[in-house]
Amino acid sequence: MHINSAIFGTMLDKKVLDGNFSPKKTSANEKIEEYYTQELLDMIYYAYRKDFEYFGYEKIVL
C-alpha cells in the first residue's frame, strides 16, 4: 500500500506533494539571479559539494 493511501485513504495529487504551502515561504529561488552570479554559485557548489550530493540537491545553473 502506498504511504499516502495508508495515511489519507487516497492518493494525493503530485502538485500537492511538491508544493510549498508554508506560511513562511520566501520565494528565495526566484531571487537567486538578483543576488548571485554563476561564478559565485559554482564556488558555493564546490565548497559544499558533499552536502549537495548527500542531500540530493541539484547544482544551480543560471
Q: Which pLDDT does position 39 carry in this prediction? A: 95
Q: Which pLDDT does position 46 carry in this prediction? A: 95
Q: Which pLDDT does position 32 carry in this prediction? A: 86
Q: Which pLDDT does position 40 carry in this prediction? A: 94
Please tell me the chain's helix, strand, coil percentages from 3-state DSSP, rounded to the nearest 5: 60, 0, 40
End-to-end alpha carbon distance in the chain: 40
Among 44, 28, 36, smallest CA distance to 62 is for 36
- The residue extents of the domains of the chain are 24-62
Single-letter amino acid code for the residue at 20: N
> In whole angstroms, what is the distance from residue 47 CA to residue 62 CA?
18
Per-residue pLDDT of the chain (62 residues; tens, 9 = 90+): 555 555 666 655 555 556 667 777 777 777 888 888 999 999 999 999 999 999 999 998 88
C-alpha cell at 42: 559554482
Q: What's the pTM?
A: 0.53
